[in-house]
Amino acid sequence: MKKIINDPQNFVDEFIEGILLAHPQLVKTPGEDARVMVRADAPVAGKVGIVTGGGSGHLPLFKGYVGAGLCDGVAIGNVFSSPSSDQVLEATKAVSGGAGVMYLYGNYGGDVFNFDLAADMAELDGISTLTVVGRDDVASQPRERAADRRGVAGIFFAFKGAGAAAERGDSLEQVAAVAEDIVDNTATMGVGLTPTIMPMTGKPSFELSDDEMEIGIGIHGEPGIHRGKLETADEIADRLTLPQIEDLSLQKGDEVALLVNGLGSTPLEELYVLVRRVHHNLAERGIVIAKHYVGEYATSLEMAGASISMLKLNAERLALLNAPARTPFFQEI
């Protein structure tokens, strides 16, 4: 697999440097460690700060959602690896404006451990924190074990809603409640068509034959719930969408926000073919798509494939999604 890289050991630091150089009006690094990035105007006095983080390899997740109306800071790990607790703590201090800091990240063991440790250290520094964990991957656990689900592309909805709540001046407890509410009403499922190639080794992270697909795959290549021959776009869309309708208990008259996300190497044209089928599936059931997001929101390096996410809407959730935001990779006017 050909890659546009220099020394693989420098891959993460070099693309972070590129982001900082390309978007100095939006993001900055607060200290010596460039793997900690915050919004350019951080800290914002009197505002709840939101810190996210996780492994590299998922742009625009997590680094691309730092800015006004979304997250205030991010701690950045190596490819598919957790950031350190010290990096999380540095981001926490850098965005703390006196109203507390909320941690919002995907449900992975290393991230949970290091964010929890950072929370303990932040408390010693007099910074109040609360944690909400993204857990939207319906393929990883059933609804009754939703607390153990993986966090994947649907965490974008939580970033957007919590970011809007913090921007309007909500308290730490209120921002966390908004994030929990959105997480509880979000579902995602993905399909992988090719493995991702790890920059450090030049080798695939898992094996998948040229004529195979994997339904329910994780964004690090974690096993899904079905591996078989490649199916049509409509059949794939049905496999991804129908379990979410059931999981969210969607009924006639309900409204949703729809996110059709490319995993790194899927053309936009193919994503819109999926959008078409999802529309038909929901319209047949009287479910309305009130807001669309189509593109790359949470990738897995160059993996071919896609994920579909839905957020069950009410008036408050839709208003939060519609609130202004601006980051290097996202803008809502």
Please check whether residue 320 is in contact with residue 57, taking contact to mean a CB–CB distance below 8 angstroms. Answer: no
CA distance 195 to 218: 11
Q: Active site residue: 220, 226, 279, 280, which one?
A: 220
Is 220 tagged catalytic? yes
In a 13 Å sphere around the CA of 222, the CA atoms on its Cβ side amount to 16
* 195 CB-near residues (< 8 Å, 6+ apart): 204, 205, 206, 207, 208, 221, 303
- Please give the structure tokens belonging to residue 232: 């049509």
Chain centroid offset of residue 2 CA: 27
Tell me whether residue 125 is exposed, middle or buried, using C-beta atoms within 10 angstroms of its C-beta: 0 to 12, 13 to 18, 19 or more.
Answer: exposed
CA distance 74 to 16: 12
At residue 141, what is the residue type? Answer: Q
Is 226 tagged catalytic? no
* 165 CB-near residues (< 8 Å, 6+ apart): 174, 175, 178, 179, 320
Place of tokens 């979304």: 70
CA distance 318 to 309: 15
Q: Name which of 133, 109, 54 is nearest 298 in CA terms.
A: 54
Q: Active site residue: 23, 58, 280, 292, which one?
A: 58
CA distance 136 to 151: 5
Element (H, E) at 306: strand 305-312
CA distance 277 to 306: 14
CA distance 321 to 256: 11
Please check whether residue 84 is in contact with residue 61, taking contact to mean a CB–CB distance below 8 angstroms. Answer: no
Task: Indicate which residues carry an active-site annotation.
Answer: 58, 220
